[in-house]
Amino acid sequence: MEGYEVVVVGAGLVGEEMVKVLKKRAFPASSITVLARSERKQVIDGQEYQVLPTAAEAFEGKHIAFFAGTEGEKGASQLFGWQAVERGCFVVDNGDDFRMDDRVPLVVPEANADAISAHNGFVSNPNCSTIQMVAALAPLNRRSPMRRVVVSTYQSVSGSGGAGIRELDAQLHEIAEGRPPTIQNYPYQILGNLIPQISGLKDEFPGYYGEEIKMIKETRKIFGMPGLAVSATCVRVPVRRGHSETVNVEFESPISPEEARELLAAQPGIVVVDDPADGKYPMPLDAEGADETFVGRIRQDPGNPNALDMWVVADNIRKGAATNAVQIAEIAVQRGWLRPQ
């Protein structure tokens, strides 16, 4: 069968979803090999895979390698990414090791698909919270350049992988049974709580946690706007899957809510759900399992005629990780930047 020999590195929540998305979108893969820290058999999307240990030799003869995220003490792409490139692979990395590397395009197809052309064999996925925000901002920025973005996120526990989901579920049972909740992945109980901390504090932006800094720096790189004013507050919430965001964005010239809805609705990959009078707006439950980014609550900022407020929701494991990665590879194939060897 003509097609691409594909490798997925990581067999956790994101790695499994990458396999599912490749199959759902009928990516032209002649084979899919799954790598992880240890060898085992694992059922993914109803099919049993022989998961193999990750080693440089495993990339020989393969065309595309999707890195799902952290694998061991260092990110798997840090250990094996460029070795895969040296062996002829086109690498799409969901980890954060090379996002700000000048050699590596940082891509959200709705915003900067052309950047893939400078790939040097390696392209990075942005952070999940960045992906959905820039997907929604891109058609508006093309209409009038942005001056400032202020975002607050409401990020589900699946952003911490399967362990985050298990901790939320465990706390639900423990508290219902009158037992103290087990706290392992978060600094505090997550059930019935909000935690305004994702990652650790960084000297680069005093008072900002790592997730917030990612949104600032990645947004600037994706849009090629190094001076763009971006401020982010990232919050972990007791939702199993799907990230939500409030976004306030100021443009050089006014964009009416009506025009914004039209621009967003015309953008492939964006679904506008915006009828607040009838209680219609995006919610994480609606986005779960979907590849699109959902936008609603689009309204004029009453204090700034050049600014809009909007509500942005997406499945962080799909569009925020697996789907965005597969879309990058699809574009590389479609535009002739990637061919079977």
**Percentage of the chain surpassing pLDDT 70?**
97
pTM: 0.96
| Residues 158-167 pLDDT 10s | 999 999 999 9
pLDDT, mean of residues 261-265: 98
Which has the closest alpha carbon to 263: 148, 163, 160, 137?
137
Both 290 and 171 in one domain: the answer is: yes
- The reported pLDDT for the residue numbered 314 is 98
- The reported pLDDT for the residue numbered 75 is 84
Both 73 and 111 in one domain: the answer is: yes
What is the rounded CA–CA span in Å between residue 246 and residue 22?
Answer: 30
Both 184 and 288 in one domain: the answer is: yes
Q: Beta strand 229-236 with 90-93: parallel, antiparallel or unpaired?
A: unpaired
**Percentage of the chain surpassing pLDDT 90?**
96
- Reported confidence tier of residue 1, pLDDT bands at 50, 70, 90: very low
Is residue 339 situated within a structural domain?
no
- The reported pLDDT for the residue numbered 64 is 97
- Whether 203 has a pLDDT exceeding 50, the answer reads yes
Is residue 147 situated within a structural domain?
yes
Both 31 and 95 in one domain: the answer is: yes
Evaluate whether 228 touches 219 at the Cβ level (below 8 Å).
yes
- Domain range for 174: 130-316
Q: In the annotation, is 128 catalytic?
A: yes
- Whether 250 has a pLDDT exceeding 60, the answer reads yes
pLDDT, mean of residues 304-318: 98
- The reported pLDDT for the residue numbered 339 is 62
| Residues 38-91 pLDDT 10s | 999 999 999 999 999 999 999 999 999 999 986 444 689 999 999 999 999 999
Q: Catalytic residue, from 89, 119, 128, 234: name it.
A: 128
pLDDT, mean of residues 306-323: 98
Is residue 229 situated within a structural domain?
yes
Both 164 and 222 in one domain: the answer is: yes
Is residue 340 situated within a structural domain?
no
Both 168 and 277 in one domain: the answer is: yes
Both 196 and 110 in one domain: the answer is: no
Domain count for the chain = 2
Q: In the annotation, is 173 catalytic?
A: no
Beta-bridge partners for 234 = 153
Both 143 and 112 in one domain: the answer is: no
Angle between helices 128-143 and 210-223 (to 10 degrees): 40
Evaluate whether 272 touches 265 at the Cβ level (below 8 Å).
yes
Least confident interval from 62-71, 225-234, 293-302: 62-71
- The reported pLDDT for the residue numbered 72 is 47
Question: For residue 155, what are its two tokens?
Answer: 């990020």
Both 111 and 195 in one domain: the answer is: no
Both 176 and 280 in one domain: the answer is: yes
- Reported confidence tier of residue 338, pLDDT bands at 50, 70, 90: confident
- The reported pLDDT for the residue numbered 281 is 98
Element (H, E) at 80: helix 76-86
- The reported pLDDT for the residue numbered 81 is 97
- Reported confidence tier of residue 340, pLDDT bands at 50, 70, 90: low
Mean pLDDT of the chain: 96
